[in-house]
């Protein structure tokens, strides 16, 4: 099974110690966001975890713990954008901290296990088409040789996002503007040896060499593992999402990055209230067992194909 750490929050940035302790314990618990008392107990054994996908905007707090995951295959989805503190208030300086962190992590685990995310893209009075092209160019140049893949997406109109972005002068991102940005991004990415993909987008940008991607990519993970993987599409994601099925480890309303475009937090007050329950020794992220909980052992099994196909035999 593939473990997602995490679409809902930045665990590497804020909860690395908790995560390490859960791996040492061999399990963690996750509440169903639609049914608070429905709890999944997740086995973290290397025998059933084929790959871990880490999602983060700042992996630095996790650097001391990387050796704890030496028994697992993993890769990082590292988001680096051109937005300033007004949009991403909880992040350290990009040039002084985050770009050097990306480069250091790539040197430690290999560029093939690093995915750069430039998303979500939106337009405003400040963040214009020209601004994004300039920012994308500067980051791509700084990350040259440290990654082979960059993922882009355009801002979705979630209710939470609309509420949190009110007052920021958001402009309409038309299809024409998307195509102009995509064409520029593709040219820049190619210049620095990166392939470019979209994340959960309807728009077809193949004319610029941009394909519909998958953040939790079965073929990509199979390449890292050196084997084929079973597994169907993750039905819990949006229709445009191409990700293979995975097990989520995070909880909503726990990310302290404070990004204004975030879909995973209701409000800053809700986050402050939730993180008060953080206990590094709890099996739950920002929570604990409660009366009425119905705990079910999540069925976990490897997705690795163990039988050789005819094509495999030919290529031996």
Least confident of 30-44, 103-117, 154-168: 154-168
pLDDT on residue 284: 98
Mean pLDDT to the nearest integer, 209-226: 95
Residue 86 contacts residue 127 (beta carbons within 8 Å): no
Give the percent of the chain with pLDDT over 90.
87
Q: What is the pLDDT of residues 117-176, one digit of tens each?
A: 999 999 999 999 999 999 999 999 999 999 999 999 999 876 667 677 877 888 999 999
Helix (H, G, I), strand (E, B) or coil at 122: coil
pLDDT on residue 309: 54
DSSP state of 168: S
289 pLDDT higher than 80: yes
313 pLDDT higher than 50: no
Question: In whole numbers, what is the pLDDT of the chain averaged over residues?
Answer: 94
d(CA 89, CA 36): 30
295 pLDDT higher than 80: yes
The residue ranges of every structural domain in the chain are: 2-315
pLDDT on residue 311: 54
**Per-residue CA distances from 42 to 23, 166, 227, 308 (Å):** 10, 38, 24, 29
pLDDT on residue 314: 45
315 pLDDT higher than 90: no
* Of 72, 91, 106, the residue nearest 194 (C-alpha): 106
Give the percent of the chain with pLDDT over 70.
95
33 pLDDT higher than 90: yes
316 pLDDT higher than 50: no
100 pLDDT higher than 60: yes
Mean pLDDT to the nearest integer, 274-292: 97
pLDDT on residue 158: 60
Q: Which residues contact 39 (CB under 8 A, 6 or more apart)?
A: 29, 30, 31, 32, 293, 294, 295, 296
**Per-residue CA distances from 123 to 106, 170, 199 (Å):** 30, 6, 18
Burial class (CB in 10 A: 0-12, 13-18, 19+), 58: buried
pLDDT on residue 67: 97
């Amino acid at each position: 099974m593939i473990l997602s750490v995490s679409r809902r929050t930045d665990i590497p940035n804020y909860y690395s110690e908790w995560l390490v302790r859960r791996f040492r314990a061999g399990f963690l618990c996750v509440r169903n966001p639609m049914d608070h008392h429905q709890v999944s107990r997740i086995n973290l054994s290397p025998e059933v975890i084929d790959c871990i996908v880490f999602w983060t905007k700042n992996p630095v707090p996790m650097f001391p713990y990387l050796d704890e995951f030496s028994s697992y295959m993993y890769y990082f989805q590292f988001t680096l954008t051109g937005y300033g503190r007004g949009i991403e208030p909880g992040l350290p300086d990009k040039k002084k901290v985050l770009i050097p962190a990306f480069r250091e992590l790539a040197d430690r685990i290999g560029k093939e296990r690093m995915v750069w995310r430039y998303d979500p893209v939106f337009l405003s009075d400040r963040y214009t088409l020209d601004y994004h092209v300039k920012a994308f160019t500067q980051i791509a140049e700084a990350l040259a040789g440290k990654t082979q893949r960059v993922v882009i997406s355009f801002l979705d109109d979630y209710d939470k996002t609309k509420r949190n972005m009110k007052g920021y002068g958001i402009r309409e991102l038309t299809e024409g503007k998307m195509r102009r940005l995509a064409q520029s991004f593709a040219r820049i990415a190619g210049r620095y040896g990166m392939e470019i993909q979209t994340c959960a987008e309807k728009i077809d940008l193949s004319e610029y060499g941009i394909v519909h991607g998958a953040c939790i990519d079965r073929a990509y993970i199979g390449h890292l593992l050196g084997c084929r993987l079973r597994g169907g599409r993750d039905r819990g994601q949006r229709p445009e999402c191409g990700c293979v099925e995975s097990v989520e480890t995070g909880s909503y309303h726990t990310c302290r990055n404070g990004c204004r475009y975030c879909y995973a937090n209701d409000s800053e007050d809700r986050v402050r209230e939730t993180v008060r329950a953080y206990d590094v020794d709890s099996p739950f992220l920002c929570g604990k067992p409660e009366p009425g909980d119905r705990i079910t052992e999540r069925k976990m099994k490897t997705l690795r194909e163990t039988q050789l196909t005819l094509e495999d035999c030919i290529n031996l």
